[in-house]
Chains A and B, each alone.
Chain A
Amino acid sequence: MYRQGVLEVEALAGVDLWVKPGEFVSIMGSSGSGKSTMMNILGCLDKPTSGSYILDGIDISKTPDSMLSTIRNKKIGFIFQSFNLLPKLNAFENVELPMIYAGLAKSERRKRALEALERVGLSDRIKHKPNEMSGGQRQRVAIARALVNEPAVILADEPTGNLDSKSTFEIIDIFRRLNDEGATIVMVTHEPDVASCTKRIVTFKDGRKINDEAVMGGNI
């Protein structure tokens, strides 16, 4: 990532987490460990009750709620376990949507949406609706949608949870490629295999960070 940004969280129960631009971090933990709350805060869907969260130089904890949608739009790309595409829109329109909210012109939207779909290898599926695509393809549309506004961080919440192992591998491959190209990615997962494909694993338990280590071959 080319931005001079830093992610900082001091939440849950004394959690202190720094994510630097260009990192590929996986967050692990059983349910109730606080990782969902963590993701909501990271995604600016929720604000910490105390402590601070600084995203790309912006103190989110001090940002008014009305501004959060703009920050989500410009700084964050969400990827969900259940894809969360709009069923009535085709792949292209789904990818185009964040740019409509960003107020981009139609020609610019078209150019960037096609580019993003190409990056995830779906150039031949732009007119397909979500229900006409496989799970792996849907998740790739979601990835294209997440990166189309060039966010500071891509947040993936169990992105491979609903996928078979072949599709899981494809998605992880795309993540690694995007990361190589400079994207900052934070991914929640409970699959150790998936987590080991990232560069750093942070483990939560009972609202606390219990482990934070680099993956072999990765770099912090």
Chain B
Amino acid sequence: MYLGENIKSALKNVLSNKMRTFLTMLGIIIGIASVITITSIGNGSQKEIEDRFDDLGVGRMTVSMRSNSPRNMYTSDALTLDDYELLKNVRGIKYISPTYQANYYSVKLLDPKETNTAQITGVGADYYDIMAPDLLYGEYINQENIDNKSKTVVITDTTAQKVFGYCDESVIGQQISVKSWKGSQKFTVEGIVENPNADTELQYENEYPESIVMPISTAQRLFGQKTLTNITLVAEAPDDTDALSERIVAMLDNFHNTSEKYTCESTTEQLEAMNEVTGTVTLLISGVAAISLIVGGIGVMNIMMVTVTERTREIGIRKSIGAKNSDIMFQFVVEAIILTFMGGLFGIVFGWLAGLVAGAILGMESVVSVKSIIIAVAISSAIGIIFGVYPAEKAARLDPIEALRYE
């Protein structure tokens, strides 16, 4: 029997009892919709991370000590400026800068206006070239500042707006007060850069710390530390960072007489690692949602069993006029597939809408990929086959004489 005829007659049967069809499909709709919603949010957050990393640039690498416990930070193996000096002359490095970041929960700006927290980053002269921020006014931290341990800072436009109430040329040269557990000190604003995350930070106004950049020497003295948080660098060949990374790690291990104590990760690796985490989480939740698909499939099977019983006589008639067992089997499998396929389509639409709503509520982007649509359609059709075969086989095996006698 032709596929077209089969689909036509299956559609006719499925549509002749709309309420039952809808209720049967509901399980599949809910299952597919939840999987689509979850993956769309997952895809969205993955995309967000990727965009973030795009801002960070390619070929950037971060050298840090492998530390499983915070205690390690204070061992003699912690990175210091000596390590920076050591790495400075390594081949294949375009820019390199030491960084020291203080725990921002205990730091805030006091004057002229108080803020909740501040992230102090002590940097080297190359930091500007590494991060490539948009300098709006004034100048960035330079080697002279570092040598003199000068009390100069670079702030962002959003911080200027918050602390001074305005952001223009006249902020340059003004004083800003930083309060930490080491007391409070005054610094001179030397430059203002654009905050690349201004949009996100405005959304969560008080959750992001103010970002303050100062010379590494000044930062280390301010907090009384000799260690570095990490060393940031840009490779000359951004596509081939593996060899450089290995060389750097080997040098540091050799220098400290340790083994695999240090890591040198490129931004792409970090991106992959983060994507892997979001991917796993998405997969896990989708898996849970997929269980509802099985429940939906059982619902379809149940209704197909009822349908077969109800239509016993029809099956008898069809057999008496020459339908083969395979024709009957095919007919009912097609019907089951149409049920689940249509359920899948509705599920995609509902899931897409739910993803938009959930994305709006969570402040995340929701992205329905072609891949997830194809997978959803394939899965729902597969459910139709898996759960449709048994009732269809039951129908195909009916004895025509018995079936014709059925009232």
Residues in A lying within 8 Å of B, measured CB to CB: 40, 43, 45-46, 66, 69-70, 72-74, 78, 80, 84-86, 88, 97-98, 100-103, 145, 149
Contact = CB atoms under 8 A, between A and B. Distances in A.
A74 B325 CA distance: 16
A74 B12 contact: no
B329 to A, nearest CB: 12
A145 B317 CA distance: 12
Given A45-B320, A72-B321, A88 B13 contact: yes
Q: Which 10 A-B pairs have the closest CB atoms?
A: A73-B322, A69-B324, A101-B322, A98-B321, A84-B317, A72-B322, A78-B320, A45-B400, A45-B401, A101-B323
A100 B5 contact: yes
Looking at chain B's contact residues, is the secondary structure mostly helix, strand, loop, or mixed? helix
Contacts of B404: 45, 80, 84
Contact of A69 (B2, B16, B313, B322): B322
A78 B179 CA distance: 98
Contacts of A72: 319-322
B194 interface: no
B401 A40 contact: yes
Contact of A100 (B2, B12, B314): B2
Nearest to A72: B322
A102 B324 CA distance: 10
By size class, the interface of chain B is 20 to 34
Contacts of B365: none
Given A46-B401, A86-B314, A101-B1, A78 B16 contact: no
Interface string B304-322: 0000000001101111111
Nearest to A75: B322
B77 interface: no
B321 A73 contact: yes
A69 B325 contact: yes
A88 B12 contact: yes
Contacts of A45: 319-320, 400-401, 404
Contacts of A78: 320-321
Contacts of A46: 401
Contact of A97 (B12, B318, B401): B318
B396 to A, nearest CB: 11
Among the interface residues B2, B12, B314, B317, which one has the most CB atoms of the partner chain A within 10 A?
Answer: B317
B400 A100 contact: no
Contacts of B316: 84
B321 A97 contact: yes
A70 B324 contact: yes
6 contacts: A45-B404, A69-B327, A72-B320, A84-B317, A97-B318, A101-B322
A168 B277 CA distance: 78
B322 A102 contact: yes
Nearest to A78: B320
Contacts of A103: 1-2
Contact of B319 (A66, A69, A88, A102): A69
Contacts of A149: 322
Most A Cβ at <10 Å: residue of B16, B323, B327 = B323
A66 B320 contact: no
* Most B C-beta atoms less than 10 A away, residue of A46, A69, A85: A69
Interface in B10-31: 12-13, 16
Contacts of B13: 88
A84 to B, nearest CB: 5
Contacts of A98: 321-322
A167 to B, nearest CB: 21
A49 to B, nearest CB: 15
A165 to B, nearest CB: 26
Nearest to A148: B321
Contacts of B313: 84
B319 to A, nearest CB: 7
Contacts of A102: 322
Contacts of B323: 69, 73, 101
A46 B401 CA distance: 8
A103 B404 CA distance: 23
Contact of B324 (A40, A66, A74, A84): A66
Contact of B322 (A40, A74, A84, A88): A74
Given A40-B401, A66-B325, 13 more contacts: A45-B319, A66-B324, A70-B324, A72-B320, A84-B320, A84-B404, A85-B317, A86-B317, A97-B318, A97-B321, A100-B2, A101-B318, A101-B323
A88 B318 contact: no
Interface in B358-407: 400-401, 404
A72 B401 CA distance: 13
Contacts of A84: 313, 316-317, 320, 404
Which of B12, B13, B325, B404 counts the most A-chain CB atoms under 10 A from its CB?
B404
B17 to A, nearest CB: 11
Nearest to A157: B404
A78 B314 CA distance: 14
Contact of B320 (A43, A70, A74, A88): A43
